[in-house]
Amino acid sequence: MVHFVGAGPGAPDLLTLRGAALLERAGCIIYAGSLVNPALLARAKDGCVLYNSAEMTLEEVLAAIQKAETAGADTVRLHTGDPCVYGAVKEQMDALDALGIPWDDTPGVSSFCGAAAALGAEYTLPGVSQSVIITRLAGRTPVPERERLAALAAHRASMVIFLSAGMLDRVEAELLAGGYPPETPAALVYKATWPEEKLVRCTVGTLAASGEAAGIRSTALVLAGDFLGEGGYERSKLYDPAFTTGYREGRA
């Protein structure tokens, strides 16, 4: 059996309890070595076979899983953050289905949550934005034309941009072209929750210059939107004394 496990954004204690138990029992661990914190591998039991998928193709990953299955061992396929965003996980699940190998999926803390925690930010502020757009710039992996960054920017929602820290001038240009005013608050979060985490607060109009000054080119998220501003939001209805909920009677 194969267990897909979200490793979390970096800090080794941001793994779920279920993920930790699966790592400790696995006979084979295939980890995404470009981003998974190697400290997590300290949980592997003696004799566990380790593979770094950064150096492997999908075919090689599947062959390693089949080898473990033949030996009667469970495999943990360890993906950074949560496997469901930019995890290349669906193609593995479908291939395992075709091979008749059972699998399950244990979620993890995505880096976009780690980044918000590091900044003390909430993406969904009443009166500011109630939507989070998770996207990326087209690089060698194309992005459908209807989802180009400038088109998404027109919503002026809270935006999290993955896999694009090496192209900050294009990120900035597209966000501006789409309609974010240049003074809109923005941030670069490098290696959220790792010891070497860096937080750079800036504006949409200064993203490229700020990234350049901080030397950030990879392993970072770009955040943009008024949710990063000072104040300007409404208080929640949920905790408003005058508001009645299913659990509490409102008082005028």
The residue ranges that bind ligand SAH (CB under 6 A) are 9-10, 35, 79-82, 85-87, 110-111, 114-115, 162-163, 189, 191-194, 219-221
Q: CA-CA distance, 191 to 199, in Å (whole number)?
A: 9
The token duo for 59 is 């075919």
Question: Judged by CB, which is closer to ligand SAH: 130, or 218?
Answer: 218
Strand (E) or helix (H) holding 158: strand 158-162
Q: Within 10 A of 42 (CB to CB), how many other CB atoms are there?
A: 9
CA dihedral 82, 87, 90, 93 (to 10 degrees): -70
Question: Judged by CB, which is closer to ligand SAH: 129, or 219?
Answer: 219
Find the residue with minimal CB distance to ligand SAH. 81
Which residues 6+ apart lie within 8 Å of 40 measured at CB? 7, 12, 15, 23, 31, 78
Q: How far is the CB of 95 from ligand SAH (least distance, A)?
A: 19
Question: Judged by CB, which is closer to ligand SAH: 69, or 224?
Answer: 224
Q: How far is the CB of 85 from ligand SAH (least distance, A)?
A: 5
* Size (the chain), residues: 252
Q: What is the three-state SS of 10-32?
A: CCHHHCCHHHHHHHHHCCEEEEC
Q: How far is the CB of 87 from ligand SAH (least distance, A)?
A: 5
For the chain, the distance separating the N- and C-terminal CA atoms, rounded to the nearest angstrom, is 57
Question: Judged by CB, which is closer to ligand SAH: 69, or 77?
Answer: 77
Question: Judged by CB, which is closer to ligand SAH: 49, or 134?
Answer: 134
Q: How far is the CB of 105 from ligand SAH (least distance, A)?
A: 12
Q: How far is the CB of 37 from ligand SAH (least distance, A)?
A: 9
